[in-house]
Structure 1
Amino acid sequence: MSYRPYRSSRPKFSAGRRVLAGLTMLVFLLTSCAGADDSTQGDSTQSSTSETANTIVLINPNSNEDSTRSMADLAEAEADGVANVEGVSNEDAPPLLETPQDMEEAAPGVVELGVEAAEDENVAAIIVSAFSDPGLEELREEVDVPVFGIGEESFHAAAQDDRKFSIATITPDEDLVESFQERAESFGYSHLYQGVRVTPGDPDELDESPEELDAALTEAVQESISSEGAEAVIMGGGPLSEPALRIEEEFEEPLVVPVIAATDEALDVVNETE
């Protein structure tokens, strides 16, 4: 498997370089000698900046390039210029992970991609961007770079201030749904966890129709709030991040977007390295 990152097409501008160029021109006009000294100093400053690890690699454990692009763009927007985000897909996995077996089979590819990404000294953090976090613990054992799972971080975000929370998802597999309960217990949130609402219908078909997906998720979130008393609702899947942003204004209760939750933690690491 080759590591071929998707880089967001969002334009990036270096404020430091613009300021440095302006200062160099000003000094040149004052004195050519001082200008030469400043140019040398500028080169040193630019070299120091380039050595700062400020890249976040987002690994999509499935092979859906559109989902990878969507999640990487979302993380890039959340980073707001603080970090660069590179998205990479697990080409050996199916386009949608729907069962625990899918997760288990995707894990080796996630680890391989993560190990390769961690070899780049510019990489400050890695995000495993599937809700069940396949390969997360294994990858953490293999690399020194901090690794965040969108599932794990969304549980922590939802449980802030002891909020009761539920999960809305499109994957109906019973074993997968049961694993959510187990994860809540493992994090010490069993007293806050209110359960899962699964949208009706085929998840692959929903994934191909944004309007139907939004409607189904809206209903699931509403049921979580009205029937279970959820004070926050996790969108149970990386590809559900964009739908969450489309429907969140319909609710007073917060919708926890897993990609954003993990990106915020990764940004803390980037800020610490600066």
Structure 2
Amino acid sequence: MTGRRILLINPNSNEATTAMMVAIARSAAADGFDIAGATATRAPTMIVSADELEAAAPEVEEIARARSGECDGMIVAAFGDPGLAGIKVTTKLPAVGIGESSMLEAAENGRRFGVATTTPLLKAKIDALPDALVLRSHYTGTRFAEGDPHELMRDPSLLRTALAGAVEACIAQDGAEAVIIGGGPLGEAAGALQPIFTVPVIAPIPSAVRRIIRLVAA
């Protein structure tokens, strides 16, 4: 079990976001596992629309193919899991996405779960994930933080407050028994929100780390 390496691919072209997500992933990793990061260069610094998400997939797959010899497993660290299906087809390595991983964890023990995030233009893509995972009956829907996604990302305090409102709506209005913070760049906010609520607040990067470690170890 020593010397295993997981490659975290950031489909957003933001090195600082990659460093933040790698740090979160390392804190969640088991002993004997290291996390390396790779950052897209052709995508926006923050993917906020369905078109941007789809456009990111080919580069994610290219990174995976180019770096597959350096790792034992891969994480796609954008909530829509762009390129994940292609990676699973073209590489023999275990690969997970933060979207699928967090939804599988949120639905454990039959829980109903919602998603709180900042990107309303990704609603259709997020709504499609529970269908693909056969979790539609558990999914209570997605609530969006009030405010422009880019503006929220520039102000961590404002981001946490806005996301907290979305989490509260998932619980109080939709009946969610667990709430996922839907986005890799929202990783730090997810950690900060977890102690505030009595229902589980699922941080997708640690979810993906736990899942890929199980797959690699198997």
Percent identical among aligned pairs is 36
Alignment correspondent of 1:61: 11
Cα RMSD, aligned residues only: 1.3
Q: How far, CA to CA, are the matches of 1:159 and 1:64 in structure 2?
A: 30
Alignment correspondent of 1:12: none
Question: 3-state DSSP class of the match of 1:92?
Answer: coil
* Deviation of the 1:118 alpha carbon: 0.7
Unaligned runs of 5+ in 1: 1-48
Worse-superposed segment, 107-116 or 263-272: 263-272
Alignment correspondent of 1:258: 204
* Aligned counterparts, 1:208-219, within 5 A: 208-219=154-165
- Quick check: 1:207 aligned with 2:157? no
1:141–1:270 distance in 2 versus 1, CA, 3 Å: closer
* Deviation of the 1:80 alpha carbon: 4.2
* Deviation of the 1:142 alpha carbon: 1.0
Q: Are the counterparts in 2 of residues 82 and 267 from structure 1 also a CA contact under 8 Å?
A: no
Q: Are the counterparts in 2 of residues 167 and 196 from structure 1 also a CA contact under 8 Å?
A: yes
1:97 corresponds to which of 26, 47, 59 = 47
Question: 3-state DSSP class of the match of 1:228?
Answer: coil
- Quick check: 1:84 aligned with 2:30? no
Q: Are the counterparts in 2 of residues 59 and 89 from structure 1 also a CA contact under 8 Å?
A: yes
Question: 3-state DSSP class of the match of 2:176?
Answer: coil
Alignment correspondent of 2:89: 141
- TM-score, structure 1 as length reference: 0.77
Aligned residues: 218
Q: Are the counterparts in 2 of residues 169 and 237 from structure 1 also a CA contact under 8 Å?
A: yes
> Which residue identity is paired with 1:259?
I
Alignment correspondent of 1:237: 183
- TM-score, structure 2 as length reference: 0.96
1:72-114 per-residue CA deviation (whole Å, 9 max, x = no partner) reads 0111111143201001110111101011110111111101111
Question: 3-state DSSP class of the match of 2:146?
Answer: coil
2:63 corresponds to which of 79, 94, 113 = 113
Alignment correspondent of 2:112: 164
* Deviation of the 1:182 alpha carbon: 2.0
Which entry has the higher C-alpha Rg, 1 or 2? 1
Unaligned runs of 5+ in 2: none
* Deviation of the 1:116 alpha carbon: 1.2
Alignment correspondent of 2:72: 124
Q: Are the counterparts in 1 of residues 127 and 141 from structure 2 also a CA contact under 8 Å?
A: yes
> Which residue identity is paired with 1:237?
G
2:168 corresponds to which of 213, 222, 228 = 222
Q: How far, CA to CA, are the matches of 1:187 and 1:219 in structure 2?
A: 27
Q: How far, CA to CA, are the matches of 2:137 and 2:120 in structure 1?
A: 23
Relative contact order, higher structure (CA 8 A, sep 6+): 2
Question: 3-state DSSP class of the match of 1:191?
Answer: helix
1:4-61 per-residue CA deviation (whole Å, 9 max, x = no partner) reads xxxxxxxxxxxxxxxxxxxxxxxxxxxxxxxxxxxxxxxxxxxxx8xx6500000000
> Which residue identity is paired with 2:73?
A
> Which residue identity is paired with 1:140?
K
Question: 3-state DSSP class of the match of 1:200?
Answer: coil
